[in-house]
């Protein structure tokens, strides 16, 4: 086992016994929502995974240790420190471990640590992707590269709608990452169910998702799989409302010179303000929805491996 990795005893027992485990990221706790909603949501998401037959493993870096599974006290610690905790992408892990520091894991680093621990399936809100204007800024999320090389299935509500969704799909195609729509052929756009872009395949049940992942492993193909699960209809926001808020937030970020890893947190927070908090409520519901699907898929995957 990796000498910097600590697996929570409950998670370790489940993995040893061949029971389903679902990874969760910690950036959503520290950077995605304000306190105390971030802690409340994290605990609700873990509870949703348990209710659907799996063990949750929230991933983080604490004191230079890679953590696969957090205690409620550690989740509370992350929630209270919030943005004082650094966002940790692939480039940051070695320095954080060497210095004994904390890091909130993004999609990229959650995939890396989940794979180290032997966790196959990861639920999140939305992945990063190609930012608007990337043809001049080259601002492309490391999430896409990680999906191309790390064998973890990521279940999300699509790429964040603040991104260039068309270019994000093109990048994933170039990297050979399968993009599956859960009960849909259209790419969901995080806060909304429609984007106008098509995904590679429609898959209708958790058992089908598990079989696709299992077959990819049997074939020996490298890289992950991306499952896009639309936000439930009752929580989906009108496309014109969310698009207007995103356009304004992007204009403001450029005017204020927001760049790099601060871009996504700034845009998500500003969109929440512009929509009167409606986008935050939608964000919480889509994460819960993805967690439930991930738990059911992990349970089906364990059946195939038994």
Structure tokens at 84: 């004082």
Q: Hunting for tokens 């058992």 — which residue is that?
A: 207
Find the catalytic residue in 25, 76, 146, 300.
25
Handedness of CA 264, 229, 123, 221 (dihedral sign): negative
Task: Find the radius of gyration of the CA atoms of the chain.
Answer: 18
Q: Pick the catalytic residue: 146, 160, 278, 300? A: 160
Tokens 């990796």 found at: 2
DSSP-based three-state secondary structure for 115: helix
Contact 224/177 with Cβ under 8 angstroms? yes
Residue 167, token pair as written in the block = 């270019």
- Helix ranges, the chain (H): 9-16, 27-30, 37-51, 72-81, 93-99, 107-117, 134-137, 142-149, 165-174, 206-219, 239-255, 263-274, 278-305
* 260 DSSP 8-state letter: G
Cα 235 to Cα 50, 277, 281, 283, 290, distances in angstroms: 23, 13, 8, 9, 13
Distance of CA 165 to the CA centre of its chain: 16
User: CA 198, CA 187: separation in Å to the nearest integer?
Assistant: 5
d(CA 166, CA 158): 12
Residue 104, beta-bridge partner list: 87
The reply to whether 211 belongs to the active site is no
The H or E element that residue 65 is part of is: strand 65-68
Q: Please say if 25 is a catalytic residue.
A: yes
Structure tokens at 302: 């364990």
Structure tokens belonging to residue 45? 């998401």
Catalytic residues, which ones? 25, 160
């Amino acid at each position: 086992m990796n000498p910097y990795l600590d697996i929570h005893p409950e998670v370790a027992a489940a993995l040893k016994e061949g029971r389903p485990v679902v990874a969760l990221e910690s950036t959503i706790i520290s950077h995605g929502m304000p306190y105390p909603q971030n802690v409340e949501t994290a605990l609700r998401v873990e509870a949703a995974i348990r209710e659907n037959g799996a063990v949750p493993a929230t991933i983080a870096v604490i004191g230079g240790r890679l953590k696969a599974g957090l205690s409620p006290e550690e989740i509370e610690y992350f929630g209270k420190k919030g943005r004082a905790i650094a966002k940790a992408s692939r480039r940051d892990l070695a320095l954080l471990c060497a210095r004994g520091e904390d890091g909130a894991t993004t999609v990229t680093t959650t995939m890396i640590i989940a794979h180290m621990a032997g966790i196959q399936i990861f639920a999140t809100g939305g992945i990063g992707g190609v930012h608007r204007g990337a043809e001049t800024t080259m601002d492309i999320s490391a999430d896409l590269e990680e999906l191309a090389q790390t064998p973890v299935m990521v279940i999300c509500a699509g790429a964040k709608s603040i991104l260039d969704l068309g270019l994000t799909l093109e990048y994933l195609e170039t990297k050979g990452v399968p993009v599956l729509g859960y009960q849909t052929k259209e790419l969901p756009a995080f806060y909304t169910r429609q984007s106008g872009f098509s995904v590679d395949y429609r898959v209708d049940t958790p058992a089908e998702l598990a079989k696709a992942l299992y077959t990819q492993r049997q074939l020996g193909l490298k890289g992950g799989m991306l499952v896009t699960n639309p936000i439930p209809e009752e929580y989906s926001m009108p496309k014109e409302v969310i698009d207007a808020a995103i356009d304004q937030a992007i204009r403001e970020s450029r005017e204020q010179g927001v760049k790099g890893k601060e871009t996504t947190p700034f845009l998500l927070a500003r969109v929440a303000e512009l929509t009167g908090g409606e986008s935050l409520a939608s964000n919480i519901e889509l994460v819960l929805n993805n967690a439930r699907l991930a738990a059911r898929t992990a349970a089906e995957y364990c059946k195939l491996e038994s």
